[in-house]
């Protein structure tokens, strides 16, 4: 290394030259922290789903999957939840806190300057002095300490970003689920109102049949029993509707319900799920599920903690410097003996600690091993959850198809009975039972459609579907990629 004349003129103090030489040599001591690459689970991730996935239809956007219901009210609710949900706001605040703490960690290994001004007396209390000093401290963070500290802070921020995205995924799924529960309850109430009208008509006809000695009293009892059963079911559905509406209000950060939620839509009450195709494969879970990103960030944090523990095995070196200006106020002159600048290293060398530092390294190594296991577990859990959602979606689709056929057959049967009644071949009382059976079948079909819609919600929640953060820095996938 060449020494320039200006440097030689400034640094003539032999002690300072020795100190500068030592500092130059120690610059090669910044050993890297634990060498842990980004964990992957490619070998343990299947190439395709074992459960059948929907195909031959438009692909649903993972970031706007709820729009497959084509419901403007639902779209507005999701948008409002993304801006007003209190859990999400709390998580975002914690994310900002983690990022601020990360920046503070980076400043830990930068030089710090402080100034101090004070007056004091000597031991004999005869003279009063004015002291003004400038102090400098610089912890070098050698042997990988600074790098590991930065990596740990970045990992904590990445984990906070993943947690925020996880809250966003849950909030969106809960909004859609509660909205579907609300509409499903309203749809079932419509079916019950129609069945109640049929039961009231059947009761009226049964009473006429008893008076005319064409029927038995048991027919009247059965009609009244069905009416009371419908009333009991209506009470449960009204409670379910109220609970779903209240849950929506909480998710939207509101204290009151929106009257629009209880208004019956002009067309079909239950949002219809459009045909869709699943484009995601198991490997996509590594970049879409927030819990996988959080587990990955924990691996980086554990690796950084291991690096810090290893750096404790080596000397800790801090550079310190001070310049003091002293003035004797009593005698009105500047002192010379206390005005010399002081600079030098502070070296903390570990000699003997009964194996405490080495044990700490072993502990951090086990923490890293556990973090890697937890990462693989998160991936496997995500695959299992998605497979379960696909299985539920497939089963509900089979159920919908079967109930659709049953409703069609019952509709044809009811139409035939009504035709016979118009021709005088059968009575109105006999057709009411078939009309009620048809209405019951339609109610079961709507319940199956609701269950299929909820399975769709569970599927895209398992896939980590949610809107992307407003800025790239909030993206957990971006934040988890540590330099």
Q: Dump pLDDT digits (tens) for 108-154.
A: 788 888 888 888 877 777 788 888 888 888 888 788 888 888 888 88
Asked if pLDDT for residue 20 goes beyond 80, the answer is: no
Average pLDDT over residues 256-263: 78
Identify which of 324-328, 347-351, 453-457 has the greatest average pLDDT.
453-457
pLDDT for the residue numbered 266: 59
pLDDT for the residue numbered 67: 93
Residue (of 193, 216, 252, 219) closest to 442 by Cα position: 193
pLDDT for the residue numbered 194: 92
pLDDT band (50, 70, 90) for residue 265:
low
pLDDT band (50, 70, 90) for residue 477:
very low
- Report which of residues 474 and 249 the model is more confident about: 249
Asked if pLDDT for residue 85 goes beyond 90, the answer is: yes
Place of tokens 């801090």: 318
Asked if pLDDT for residue 24 goes beyond 60, the answer is: no
Q: Considering the entire predicted model, what is its pTM?
A: 0.81
Asked if pLDDT for residue 462 goes beyond 80, the answer is: yes
Asked if pLDDT for residue 434 goes beyond 80, the answer is: yes
pLDDT band (50, 70, 90) for residue 259:
confident
Query: Was domain 29-112+152-199+242-314+356-479 assigned CATH 1.20.1600.10?
Result: yes
pLDDT band (50, 70, 90) for residue 264:
low
Residue (of 239, 301, 297, 310) closest to 30 by Cα position: 310
- Report which of residues 34 and 127 the model is more confident about: 127
Residue (of 179, 386, 166, 388) closest to 278 by Cα position: 386
Asked if pLDDT for residue 397 goes beyond 90, the answer is: yes
Asked if pLDDT for residue 366 goes beyond 70, the answer is: yes
Asked if pLDDT for residue 409 goes beyond 80, the answer is: yes
pLDDT for the residue numbered 114: 87
pLDDT band (50, 70, 90) for residue 37:
very low
Asked if pLDDT for residue 34 goes beyond 50, the answer is: no
């Amino acid at each position: 290394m060449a020494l320039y004349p200006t440097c030689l003129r400034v640094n003539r103090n032999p002690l300072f030259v020795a100190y500068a030489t030592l500092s130059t040599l120690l610059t090669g001591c910044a050993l890297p922290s634990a060498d842990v690459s980004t964990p992957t689970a490619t070998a343990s991730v299947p190439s395709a789903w074992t459960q059948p996935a929907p195909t031959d239809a438009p692909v649903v956007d993972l970031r706007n999957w709820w729009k497959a219901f084509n419901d403007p009210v639902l779209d507005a609710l999701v948008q409002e939840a993304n801006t007003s949900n209190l859990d999400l706001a709390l998580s975002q605040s914690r994310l900002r806190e983690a990022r601020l703490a990360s920046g503070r960690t980076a400043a830990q290994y930068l030089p710090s300057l402080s100034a101090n001004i004070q007056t004091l007396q000597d031991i004999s209390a005869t003279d009063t002095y004015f002291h003004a000093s400038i102090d400098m401290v610089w912890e070098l963070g050698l042997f990988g300490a600074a790098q590991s500290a930065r990596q740990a802070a970045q990992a904590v921020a990445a984990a906070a970003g993943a947690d925020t995205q996880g809250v966003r995924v849950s909030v969106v799924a809960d909004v859609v689920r509660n909205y579907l529960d609300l509409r499903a309850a309203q749809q079932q109430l419509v079916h019950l109102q129609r069945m109640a009208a049929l039961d009231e008509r059947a009761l009226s006809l049964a009473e006429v049949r008893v008076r005319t000695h064409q029927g038995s009293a048991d027919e009247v009892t059965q009609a009244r029993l069905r009416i009371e059963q419908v009333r009991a079911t209506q009470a449960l559905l009204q409670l379910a509707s109220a609970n779903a509406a209240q849950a929506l209000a909480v998710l939207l950060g509101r204290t009151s319900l929106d009257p629009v939620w209880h208004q019956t839509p002009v067309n079909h009450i239950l949002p219809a799920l459009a045909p869709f195709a699943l484009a995601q494969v198991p490997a996509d879970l590594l970049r879409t599920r927030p819990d996988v990103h959080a587990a990955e960030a924990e691996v980086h944090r554990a690796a950084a903690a291991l690096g810090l523990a290893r750096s404790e095995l080596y000397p800790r070196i801090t550079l310190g410097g001070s310049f003091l200006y002293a003035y004797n106020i009593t005698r009105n002159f500047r002192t010379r003996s206390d005005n010399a600048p002081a600079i030098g290293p502070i070296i903390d060398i570990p000699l003997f600690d009964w194996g405490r530092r080495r044990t700490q390294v072993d502990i951090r190594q086990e923490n890293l091993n556990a973090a890697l296991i937890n990462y693989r577990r998160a991936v496997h859990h995500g695959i299992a959850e998605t497979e379960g959602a696909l299985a539920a979606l497939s089963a509900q689709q089979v159920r919908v198809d079967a109930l659709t056929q049953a409703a069609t057959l019952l509709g044809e049967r009811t139409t035939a009975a009504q035709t016979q009644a118009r021709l005088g071949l059968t009575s109105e009382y006999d057709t009411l039972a078939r009309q009620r059976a048809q209405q019951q079948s339609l109610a079961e079909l709507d319940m199956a459609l609701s269950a299929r819609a909820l399975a769709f919600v569970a599927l895209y929640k398992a896939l980590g579907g949610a809107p992307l953060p407003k800025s790239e820095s909030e993206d957990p996938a971006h934040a988890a990629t540590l330099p």
